[in-house]
Structure 1
């Protein structure tokens, strides 16, 4: 999948929902704008990579084939 970076500065936001069984969810970006898709493979942690609803995260936004998506996701 081709992705290009939209912004160099990391963004912060809150996990709206994340389905651990399917391995994806969405993040609400601080300051508004469209929700950002997040895939488990973008989560920067060891072991089982998942996110919790309402969890604060930092991430970079890239443009995927279906719209904005999170990369380099770090739980705060």
Structure 2
């Protein structure tokens, strides 16, 4: 199921981010599932569309597209 959120925070050095969802928990994002041309570093507050999977550590993004 596709979800909509905004980039809450990211770490360029370690290449991970968190997406903030309205009315739900934040979601962890690694670098690899990001679908974006060129350098894949979003700005904080940038809106995204994503799919998340339940893992033992919480929700983790399996694919994300920046809008």
For the superposition of Structure 1 and Structure 2, which TM-score range results when normalised by the shorter chain? 0.7 to 0.9
TM superposition score normalised by structure 2: 0.88
The unaligned stretches of length 5 or more in structure 1 are 1-8
TM superposition score normalised by structure 1: 0.79
Question: Paired residues, what number?
Answer: 67
Distance (Å, rounded) in 2 between the aligned partners of 1:57 and 1:46:
14
After superposing on structure 2, the runs of 4+ consecutive aligned residues of structure 1 that deviate more than 4 Å are none
Structure (1/2) with the larger strand percentage: 2
**Secondary structure, counterpart of 1:12 in structure 2:** strand
RMSD, matched Cα? 1.2
The unaligned stretches of length 5 or more in structure 2 are none
Cα offsets for 1:2-27 (capped at 9, x unmatched)? xxxxxxx2000011111111100110
